[in-house]
Amino acid sequence: MLSGSWIDDYKKKLCTAQEAARAVKSGDRLMNPLMLGQPTNLIMDAIADRKDELKDCELNALLTLRPYKMFKPEYRGSFRINAGFVGTPSLRACFPESESYGRYVPVSSFATSKQYSCFRRPDVVVLMVTPPDKDGFVNLGPDLFYTRAMIEGLQTSRGVIGGARVVIAEENDQYPPAFGHTKLHVSKLTHIVRNSAKLPAPPPPVPSEAHHKIAENVVNLLRDRDTIQIGIGALPMVVSDLIVKSDLKDIGVLTEMLPTGAPQWVEKGICTGKYKKFRPGEINCTFMGPSAELYEFIQKNEFVKFLPGNTTNHPAILGAEDQLVGVNGALEIDLAGQIASLTCGERIFSGHGGQIEFAMGCRMSEFGRMIIATESVGRDENRNPISRIVKFLKPGALVNTPCHLVDYVVTENGIAGPLEGMSVIERAEALIKVAHPKFQDELVKAAKDRGIFQ
């Protein structure tokens, strides 16, 4: 569509939230982007308000930030909630201990584009975009995880598969545009609802003393020219701060979530990415968390490129890097080094995410390293201290990363590894040494009972 010729089409698509909501039909599967690309409550609640008219609708949700009405139990008769990553308070509310009315859907980051095009194609997509530019392109902003695939479908050898019937855009003049594969023409949209709303920017989490010790151990494993994958949270924030204070040189970033420390790494000249194999000189990610500093950073720096998750998390792309380093967490680690990072027994806390893909990438990468960083002690449902390193994973636990893809386990008590090539006996010895001293004797006895120690 030629520049200027799109305007009439654009104006025809402008409507209210209630008018857009009427495009939803009973039996429809609804989807939003992963995180910041999600709309405000405006349109989603207008859809929920039709609960007496709609039946058997389904919302596929991941990392939902906002408390949409349809997450409340009184809406369950009209809207089923499927969640692939139960890591936010809004989604956790659908998984109460007494009666879970949400349903967990195992999916890895790399596979989301395929899943939501080929197998679980949405009928209705509701997302946030910027106002259009002079050529009629809106910007999808800092959330490319599976957004394009659920809107447009996936290009395959047999043609395009998938694509939504209805695409409702909340046009927000406060939504930050991003560089990368982020432009979408208004012709791809069916409804446009204008709104002006600030994005969330919560205060950063407060790190503990244990976080500082763990971060020191993690940074000791980093080297010049490493290409790093790390997320957002108290521990990654401390790791980021220590990288700024380090003498590291020429690190790169190829990750799913943009690290909070990226602006400081660039400012200090630590992050150049010039030795990356994939798009050297760029910072590549697929989404980011809510952060006022990052909102400004991504708009000012064209070398920060957002790409779909089936690119940033593609094991073959990751494995082609020379020194890929993944830094990820865990809820439980057994004595062989198996990682459960989404469940503690049958209780679901997050999702599979991209950990396994980066673990595979690190294994294929020359001089790559997969680091699992966690506090040695957690808390049970009664707030009693429990060891993160355990004899067995709790019954019902879902293994996120198998033991043979883990290179290091780091706690505040030290570094276990490199684990590659170690026997199960050697792994158990190394892991027990970084467990909390309070639990070490118990773990030694457990290892002997299992026959690990002769």
Q: Which H/E stretch holds residue 147?
A: helix 147-152
Does residue 171 have an active-site annotation? Answer: no
pTM of the model: 0.94
Catalytic residue among 58, 170, 171, 256: 256
Q: Which H/E stretch holds residue 263?
A: helix 262-267
The pLDDT of residue 16: 98
- Rounded to an integer, what distance in angstroms lies between the CA atom of residue 250 and that of residue 252? 7
The pLDDT of residue 4: 64
The pLDDT of residue 397: 87
> How many Cβ atoms from other residues are within 10 Å of residue 182's Cβ?
24
Whether residue 249 sits in one domain with residue 138: no
Contact 252, 228 (CB under 8 A): yes
Contact 288, 36 (CB under 8 A): yes
Tokens of 166: 């209805």
Whether residue 166 sits in one domain with residue 305: no
Mean pLDDT for back-to-back runs of 10 residues, the chain (454 residues) = 78 98 98 96 98 95 92 91 85 67 81 88 97 97 96 90 96 98 98 96 88 97 97 84 95 96 95 97 96 95 97 97 96 94 78 90 97 93 90 89 96 96 95 97 92 78
201 in any annotated domain: no
The pLDDT of residue 26: 98
Residue where one domain finishes, among candidates 139, 173, 195? 195
Structural domain span for residue 100: 7-195
204 in any annotated domain: no
The pLDDT of residue 352: 80
Q: What sign results for the dihedral spanned by CA atoms 311, 116, 167, 354?
A: negative
Order of all β-strands in the sheet with 57-62: 102-104, 79-85, 57-62, 29-31, 124-129, 166-172, 191-195
Whether residue 51 sits in one domain with residue 103: yes
Contact 265, 244 (CB under 8 A): yes
Q: What sign results for the dihedral spanned by CA atoms 65, 315, 218, 274?
A: negative
The 3-state DSSP class for residue 362 equals helix
Region of residue 408 (left: phi > 0; alpha: psi -120 to 50; beta: else): beta
Residue where one domain finishes, among candidates 132, 166, 195? 195
Whether residue 269 sits in one domain with residue 191: no
Whether residue 160 sits in one domain with residue 44: yes
The pLDDT of residue 430: 97
Q: What sign results for the dihedral spanned by CA atoms 283, 289, 290, 293?
A: negative
CATH number at residue 329: 3.40.1080.20
- Rounded to an integer, what distance in angstroms lies between the CA atom of residue 401 and that of residue 411? 17
Whether residue 252 sits in one domain with residue 151: no
- Rounded to an integer, what distance in angstroms lies between the CA atom of residue 274 and that of residue 227? 10
DSSP letters, 433-447, are HHS-HHHHHHHHHHH
Closest of 154, 375, 109 to residue 257, by C-alpha: 109
How many domains does the chain fold into?
Answer: 2
The 3-state DSSP class for residue 257 equals strand
Whether residue 384 sits in one domain with residue 305: yes
